[in-house]
Structure 1
Amino acid sequence: MRAWIPLLAAVLTTAAAPAVAAPFAPDLEHTSVYFAASHFDRTTMRGRFDKIDGAINFDEATNQGGLDFTVDAASINTRLQVLDGVLKSEQFLDAMQFPFIRLRSDRFVVEGGKLVAVQAKLTLHGVTQPVRLEVRRFSCGDEKLPGSTRHVCGGDFHLAIARSAFGMTRFLPDVGDRVDLDISVEATPQ
């Protein structure tokens, strides 16, 4: 009977040990941030940010981890140079004074073993607010490409913000207060 005690203690200690999140590198060719907002309540203005960087720590066994992403505010791209200039100006993003948009999280929400949301802090226009990204799809697995296989975790995330909560009130209510952000991320273990 006493021979089982050390083995049982080792098993219980191992089972109780916290999971370790491993560093993942975002694949910037397969990572994007798109936005959409009402334009005079007639159409939806859409665009993207072209320069994104970030770091992810993730434990595949528990779907827990953290992330820290930055977006270059001046990389906004609507395919309309004049509009891009207005959005970069002090009227909206004020990219000269606030060059980066930052999204940080250390709380991933898991239900039934699935990642369903990410609780985060978004810093935009010099203001930090708590936000919740809803997970539209997420999975990890091997991608078999011609000549190679790589392990990838990736997903699509959605976030809706009120731009007025970040001090951007120009042209309200004609240009919508609600801004929808769609974020796609693929990342590989480092």
Structure 2
Amino acid sequence: MVSRRSLSALILLAVGVCALGGPPVLAQVSRWSVVPAQSSITMRVASPLGHRSGRFERWEADVRFDPEAPEAAWVAVTVQAASLRMDNASLTQPAIGPALLDTARFPDIRFRLTSLRRLEGERFTAEADVTMKGVTRPVRFPVTLRSAGQTVQMTGGFSLDRAAYGIGTQGSWNRLIGRQVRVDVSLATRPA
């Protein structure tokens, strides 16, 4: 569960404030708070027993947003990698252990939005940097922004090549799980 108090730092994954720098100063951009009960960061990967899924339970987001100019948004998320809970509880420890996420050495997964470009209506293309296990790679993915009263919901997802981040590249895990990991993010936000 994301605590309201912890929202000032960014997504440990990754969906705290990124070490790469702070948000740009923009006249109408203001801080928004995440609504934890309406937000989630999940993952899904193929295995010999079918797709396995998991949910990150602890993460923080720093969101700066102007509803009149969504393209000026600044979002940084820090996910506590050890908070991953797999759909099969017996898979949680291997997933966060040394062969895969290695959360003892790499406790955070970071996501930093670098660009948001409107396609039409509520549809956008997002570009972001994702950092896991000390490796940063860019991702590009479709997102939808929907407004309902004071709440703005951002929904999107992308696929990552786990081997590009050094995840599960040694031993039997490399053969047992798919290389592509699907990450889905849903952030509900309100003005802080």
TM-score (normalised: structure 2): 0.79
1:29 equivalent among 6, 30, 37 = 37
**Aligned alpha-carbon RMSD (Å):** 1.6
Match of residue 181, structure 1, among 180, 183, 186: 183
Deviation at 1:155, TM superposition (A): 2.3
Q: Is the 8 A contact 2:114 2:129 kept in 1?
A: no
1:76-155 aligned within 5 A: 76-112=84-120, 114-135=122-143, 137-142=144-149, 151-155=150-154
What's 1:55 paired with?
A: 62
SS at match of 1:133: strand
SS of structure 2 residue aligned to 1:164: helix
Matched, 1:43 2:42: no
SS at match of 1:87: helix
Determine the C-alpha separation between the residues in 1 that align with 2:29 and 2:153: 16
Partners of 1:23 and 1:86 in 2: CA distance: 37
Quote the offset at 1:172 in angstroms.
2.2
Larger Rg, first or second structure (1 or 2): 1
Q: Which digits, 9 at most, give the CA deviation of each residue in 1:73-124, with x for residues without a partner?
A: 0001014343111111110000011111110113112123544121100011
> Structure 2: 5+ residue runs without aligned partners?
1-25
Q: Is the 8 A contact 2:129 2:138 kept in 1?
A: yes
For 1:125 and 1:45, how far apart are their aligned partners in 2? 21
Cα distance in 2, alignment partners of residues 95 and 104 from structure 1: 20
Q: Which structure has the highest strand share of the two?
A: 1
Runs of 4+ with deviation above 6 angstroms = none
CA distance in 1, matches of 2:55, 2:181: 12
User: TM-score, structure 1 length as denominator?
Assistant: 0.80
Counterpart Cα distance in 1 of 2:64 and 2:91: 36
**What amino acid is aligned across from residue 153 of structure 1 in structure 2?**
V
User: How many residue pairs end up in the alignment?
Assistant: 163
**Cα drift, residue 128 of structure 1:** 0.7
The answer for the alignment partner of 2:10 in structure 1 is none
**Secondary structure of the residue that 2:100 maps to in structure 1?**
coil
Distance 2:60 2:38 in 1: 12
Do the aligned residues in 2 keep the contact of 1:32 with 1:52 (CA within 8 Å)?
A: no
Q: Could you tell me whether the CA contact under 8 Å between 2:74 and 2:114 is conserved in 1?
A: yes
> 1:109 corresponds to which letter in structure 2?
R
Q: Which consecutive residues of structure 1, in runs of 5 or more, have no partner in the other structure?
A: 1-17, 143-150
